[in-house]
Amino acid sequence: LDEGIVLDDSSLSGSDFPLEEITLSSASSPSLNPIWIEGGDGDNGDGDGDGDGFDSLSDGGGGGCLGRTWAKVKGIFVKPPSYHPRTISLHPQSVKVDTNSTLPQNIVSNQKYTPVWTFLFVVLYNEFKFFFNMYFLLVALSQLIPVLRIGYLFTYIAPLVFVLAITVSKEAFDDYQRWKRDREANSQIYHKLTSGGLQPIPSSDIQVGDLIHLNKNDRVPADMILFRTSEQTGATFIRTDQLDGETSWTLRRALSVTQKLDSDASLLQMSAKLYATKPKLDIYDFVGKFTVTDAGIGGSSVDYTEAQVEGVSLDNTLWTNTVLAAGQGVGCVIYTGSETRSALNTSMPATKVGLLDLEMNRLAKVLFGLTVVLSFLMVAVGGFKGFWGIDLFRFILLFSAIIPISLRVNLDMGKALYSYWINRDDKIPGTVVRTSTIPEELGRINYLLSDKTGTLTQNVMVFKRLHLGTSSFSHDTVDELESSLRRGYESGTKSKDKGVFASKKGGRKSVEETVRTAIEALALCHNVTPTRETEGSDEISYQAASPDEVALVQFTESIGVTLWNRDLTTMTLKTPKGKKLKYDILHVFPFTSETKRMGIIVKERKTNSIIFYMKGADVVMSKIVKSSDWLDEECGNMAREGLRTLVFGMKVMSESEFDSFEKRLKKAKSQIHNRAEKVQSAVESIEKGLELIALSGVEDKLQESVKPTLEMLRNAGIRIWMLTGDKIETATNIAVSSRLVGHSQGIYTISDVNDSSVAFSHLDVFRNKKDTCLVVDGASLRYCMEGPHRELFAQVATAAPSVVCCRCSPTQKADVVLMIKEYTGLQTASIGDGGNDVSMIQAADVGIGIVGKEGRQASLAADFSINQFSYVSRLLIWHGRNSYKRSARLGQFVIHRGLIISFIQAVFSALFYFAAIAIYNGWLLVGYATFYTTLPVFSLVLDTDVTEEIAFQFPELYRELQKGRALSYKTFFVWVAKSIYQGGVIMLLAIFLFDQSLYQVISITFTALILTELVNVAFEIHTWHWMMIACEVITVIIYFISIAVLPEYFDVTFMVSGEFVWKILVIVLVTALPIYLGKFIQRKCFPASYTKLK
């Protein structure tokens, strides 16, 4: 259709498009006009490669037998989606109701567990795919067998049930909240056009073929083709912030065939067919056809003898979740529910599991191996006596404390506390933690992928500079510019031949005349439309697809030249003296990433002068305008200031010159083959010898403190990528002005690639460049990331200091994140503020949403919600550091706590004939992991290794966190060695020092164990907090009280004797002193970086 080829019905109904006739109607609306949907086969596009249209449950860890079982279950009970092209036939007659439509219902569904009956299965699967929980489930079940039972049954079952109950309750509550939000969205009332007038209809009941009436500020409920608007020209504006992230308004046009009808009701009297291709991801492309099948339309005076077929393009579409920004409109629904562009570009949120949790899961497997080895040694040294297999299993159960179930509880409590502190941080007000399971991942980020508009920038363009060759104006000299403009309108007369203002004496043009020429060029050469809240109001707001165009028009208004009115064919300017100049718009040549320029031909009604204005990037315009000795230098100066520059040129055309050009253009547009190239060639024929008028510079205002924040993150070793839907020139300017690209760094651009071999050659050139930022557009990105070049692109891009991806669709953004994770295996964070960023945010290990002008969709879908970009530095550098370091230390100490009591048990069993008998039972075993050690151990979450000032003054400290050294196999085995030493010393010294009181071995070793753990906690603390001291004191008091109230476990008389006290102190000293000396030597000889700074 883009090439002017019209397809007849037969060409759409061959083997590629098998037809299926479906009649749609509504039980509540018997007067609905008939609709036939003709569909063909399509693909599912779920992205998991299984052909079922649903993301794989096993993604992100787990999988195995349970994952394969789930895949089979959903394959039986859940029908995968299939996408079809369709032809919607509109007729005046009524039809019967058909409820067997294969098209999806128009509902929003963000529930995590759909269908609902999968809830319990999926939740339990997500829990038991972790070795921790599966291990304790098997241990608990083993206690139901009498021969394997050791101790009390509740000590094994109760903790597991408690942990699972909390998880299931939390997941159920979260999914219920999502269901409530979905219900609210699906019950939103819209109005459908029927023969009985406008009938209210909930969003969930809207079907393909419905004619939906929209008012200003209505959110579009389904993908539609715009049939009519309240504007006579058929033009309207939409806000696409929740789709592509751009807050500027986008122009849309109604089909000319339907816009010409006398009224909206005439739509119900026409016979026509609307063809639409099958749903796809690309939000920047659409191909369709509208055919009037009956020229005699009742109630309409329109003659369709010459306009019975019209091509439908992106300009005629209203995608779901866009907002009608002006006027009213009527659209025909073509895609609903899961087939809409918005739904296809939104991935379902996966359950995020932190890297620290996965590392702990791996350590649990190592601990299990250690348990088996230790148990086997006990049986082997004992001589494999009797039923040694049962003894082996009993020893495994006896040493089950080596894998402490309290580890998950402690870590989850710590995460909840970290989240609470982030929420309550006064220095980042408004921050909300929405996923409390991954705060420690903030301390491990290697790649930060950021949106541009509304994230790095405010999307507020401000005029900064205007250079006219002989004079330059800025904000400081705007009064001088305004005065020159007024004098130009008072004294200048426009020449019809030269396109400039000749002075009255016929000499060289003055500053005033030059200023007037330039300001009129700025006020006329654009695609801006003025809008008013009320008809006839003097208060004007401007709307355009490009915010820098709005900035220039607002600037001309501020100095006296106002864009008063504009429609598709005319434009009116208001001069400083209140006079109105009217222009006919003859042709508009819109800006494209290929041409990098925009032109317009206007005819001034008063003088009949035909003027061709053009503006564009300096690299293009410098070849079009007449040579100048100042253009290159001034463009360089403005670029160094981070300004977005535009070069303006003009040319006055004679009637004959314009007529000749129009004939060439019309001939080019009538061509079937290579139409676009021939049209561009016709336009280029008049792009010669343009007079250089002006050079403008506008600034896209950055968010507060963006530059220092980006610098701090780079110093912290975080590589930053910008993923935006904006064009290359805009994104590059922002990258420079925000210091994402350093002054000494180069920029290599890959754009307009339409072949994989060209993509390879670009990548091959770039990988040989050093210290260079990569800029790539969306079309080129597709070829770089598809097929054999994906790995090469990942290799060269991840090695670059920074990367800017432009014209990215939401799916491409998410794919970039997944590529980085797949290739590097490192932690990623994504940050954005629009609905188009949701997929990217959910794909990253950590998703950060900003509450901004583009709404709350990104912040609601993110793991962390903030109010501005600068908060990211505190979130990562301070809270991320503390959360990770604390969780790593807490987790390893809890493991140590289980190891030390297990090694005491091992020594005890070895000394007593390798009997599988528990040394501690009942209350002692339960109390050890709760009342006697929980408070001191958990108080480690209050510890900080560096002060806040040092963390921000030296962000390089963050690089150590990225290496994961706080929790590694090295640190883990250090804790194992410490546990073996201390556990063995406690048991052996108890036997040696109390050889006359062996029957008191339980109270002796248990007291030494508790005191040793309290001392160990003290050794681990870097910065003391009053609550840490309180936890230690309270624990000692609780233990002494329990000695008095639990005579069945403790002999009070024996324990208050002087001999007991000094011998216990000796045991504690021997267990703790070597550990302290080792730490002291390490700090002195091999100090960590942060200790040097302290």
Q: Which residue has the tokens 């079309």?
A: 779
Q: What angle do CA 106, 110, 112 make, to 5 degrees?
A: 135
Q: Which of 19, 29, 386 is nearest to 198 (CA)?
A: 29
- pLDDT value for 599: 93
Q: Is residue 333 scored above 80 in pLDDT?
A: yes
- Parallel/antiparallel/unpaired status of strands 235-239 and 317-318: unpaired
Q: Is residue 337 scored above 60 in pLDDT?
A: yes
Contact 391, 916 (CB under 8 A): yes
Residue 1013, C-beta contacts closer than 8 angstroms, at least 6 positions apart: 897, 900, 932, 933, 936, 937
pLDDT confidence bin for 151, thresholds 50/70/90: low
- pLDDT value for 274: 87
- 3-state DSSP helix/strand/coil % of the chain, to nearest 5: 45, 20, 35
Write down the catalytic residue from 175, 241, 391, 451: 451
Q: What angle do CA 584, 588, 594 make, to 5 degrees?
A: 165
Contact 798, 719 (CB under 8 A): yes
Q: Is residue 691 scored above 60 in pLDDT?
A: yes
Query: What number of other Cβ atoms are within 10 A of residue 537's Cβ?
Result: 9
- pLDDT value for 497: 41
- pLDDT value for 671: 66
Contact 133, 353 (CB under 8 A): no
Residue 347, C-beta contacts closer than 8 angstroms, at least 6 positions apart: 47, 55, 814, 839, 842, 843
Q: Is residue 17 scored above 50 in pLDDT?
A: no
Q: Across residues 114-139, what is the average pLDDT?
A: 79
pLDDT confidence bin for 1069, thresholds 50/70/90: very high
Q: Is residue 53 scored above 60 in pLDDT?
A: no
Q: Is residue 1027 scored above 90 in pLDDT?
A: yes
Two tokens, residue 434: 């929405």
- pLDDT value for 493: 47
Q: Which residue has the tokens 């420079």?
A: 736
Q: Is residue 298 scored above 50 in pLDDT?
A: no
Two tokens, residue 198: 């406008």
Q: Which residue has the tokens 């401000």?
A: 462
Contact 890, 414 (CB under 8 A): yes
Measure the CA–CA gap between 1064 and 924, rounded to whole angstroms: 18
Query: Looking at 326-330, 495-499, 527-531, which range is the least confident one?
Result: 495-499
* Alpha-helical runs (H) found in 220-346: 241-244, 256-259, 341-344
Please tell me what DSSP assigns to residue 8: P
* Alpha-helical runs (H) found in 345-387: 355-381
Task: Convert the pLDDT of each residue in 809-837 to its tens digit.
Answer: 888 899 999 999 999 999 999 999 877 78
Q: Across residues 950-974, what is the average pLDDT?
A: 92
Contact 721, 447 (CB under 8 A): yes
Q: What is the mean pLDDT of the chain?
A: 81
Q: Is residue 664 scored above 80 in pLDDT?
A: yes
Looking at the DSSP bridge assignments, the partners of residue 570 are 584
Residue 624, C-beta contacts closer than 8 angstroms, at least 6 positions apart: 597, 614, 616, 649, 687, 688, 690
488 φψ region: left (φ > 0), alpha (ψ -120 to 50), beta (else): alpha
pLDDT confidence bin for 669, thresholds 50/70/90: confident
Task: Convert the pLDDT of each residue in 382-413 to its tens digit.
Answer: 778 777 888 888 888 888 878 887 888 889 88
Two tokens, residue 995: 């050889």
SS3 459: strand
Residue 340, C-beta contacts closer than 8 angstroms, at least 6 positions apart: 222, 223, 279, 319, 320
Q: Which of 1004, 992, 1015, 988 is nearest to 1064 (CA)?
A: 1004
* SS3 labels along 962-1014: HCCCCCCHHHHHHHHHHHHHHHHHHHHHHHHHCCCCHHHHHHHHHHHHHHHHH
- Give CA separation, 557 vs 363, 646, 647, 928, in Å: 67, 18, 20, 76
pLDDT confidence bin for 168, thresholds 50/70/90: confident
Which carries the bigger pLDDT value, residue 95 or residue 761?
761
Contact 273, 87 (CB under 8 A): yes
Query: What number of other Cβ atoms are within 10 A of residue 509's Cβ?
Result: 18
Residue 387, C-beta contacts closer than 8 angstroms, at least 6 positions apart: none
Q: Is residue 45 scored above 70 in pLDDT?
A: no
Q: Across residues 8-33, what is the average pLDDT?
A: 34
Query: What number of other Cβ atoms are within 10 A of residue 69's Cβ?
Result: 13
Measure the CA–CA gap between 862 and 838, rounded to whole angstroms: 7
Task: Convert the pLDDT of each residue in 541-595 to its tens digit.
Answer: 888 777 788 889 999 999 999 999 888 789 999 998 888 999 999 998 888 767 7
- pLDDT value for 447: 96
Which carries the bigger pLDDT value, residue 152 or residue 745?
745
Q: What percent of the chain has pLDDT over 70?
A: 85
- pLDDT value for 75: 55
Two tokens, residue 383: 């001589």
Q: What percent of the chain has pLDDT over 90?
A: 33
- pLDDT value for 28: 33
Measure the CA–CA gap between 307 and 312, rounded to whole angstroms: 13
- Parallel/antiparallel/unpaired status of strands 719-723 and 472-474: unpaired
Task: Convert the pLDDT of each residue in 339-380 to its tens digit.
Answer: 898 888 776 666 678 899 889 889 988 998 998 999 898 888
Our answer to whether residue 451 is catalytic in this structure is yes
Q: Across residues 237-245, what is the average pLDDT?
A: 75
SS3 502: strand
Measure the CA–CA gap between 1049 and 1000, rounded to whole angstroms: 9
Residue 784, C-beta contacts closer than 8 angstroms, at least 6 positions apart: 750, 753, 759, 762, 763, 776, 790, 793
Count each helix (H run) and each strand (E run) in the chain, helices first.
37, 37
**Most confidently modeled of 85-99, 660-674, 1036-1050?**
1036-1050
pLDDT confidence bin for 670, thresholds 50/70/90: low
Query: Looking at 61-75, 280-294, 547-561, 667-681, which range is the least confident one?
Result: 61-75
- pLDDT value for 573: 93
Q: Is residue 851 scored above 90 in pLDDT?
A: no
Query: Looking at 26-35, 206-215, 809-818, 989-998, which range is the least confident one?
Result: 26-35
Query: Looking at 8-22, 495-509, 928-942, which range is the least confident one?
Result: 8-22
Q: Which of 941, 721, 863 is nearest to 353 (CA)?
A: 863
Measure the CA–CA gap between 1011 and 634, rounded to whole angstroms: 75
Two tokens, residue 636: 């360089």
Contact 472, 480 (CB under 8 A): no
First-last CA distance in the chain: 69
Residue 279, C-beta contacts closer than 8 angstroms, at least 6 positions apart: 42, 83, 223, 335, 339, 340, 341, 344
Looking at the DSSP bridge assignments, the partners of residue 251 are 237
Q: Is residue 496 scored above 90 in pLDDT?
A: no
- pLDDT value for 32: 34
Dihedral over alpha carbons 793, 798, 801, 806 (to 10 degrees): 50
Measure the CA–CA gap between 877 and 875, rounded to whole angstroms: 6
Q: Which residue has the tokens 């921000």?
A: 952
Measure the CA–CA gap between 197 and 194, rounded to whole angstroms: 5
Q: Across residues 232-250, what is the average pLDDT?
A: 76
pLDDT confidence bin for 143, thresholds 50/70/90: confident
Which carries the bigger pLDDT value, residue 472 or residue 149?
472
Measure the CA–CA gap between 602 and 609, rounded to whole angstroms: 8
pLDDT confidence bin for 958, thresholds 50/70/90: very high
pLDDT confidence bin for 80, thresholds 50/70/90: low
- pLDDT value for 350: 65
Q: Is residue 209 scored above 60 in pLDDT?
A: yes
Task: Convert the pLDDT of each residue in 710-743 to its tens digit.
Answer: 999 999 999 999 998 877 877 888 888 888 988 7
Q: Please give the single-letter amino acid code of residue 304.
A: Y
Which carries the bigger pLDDT value, residue 71 or residue 262?
262
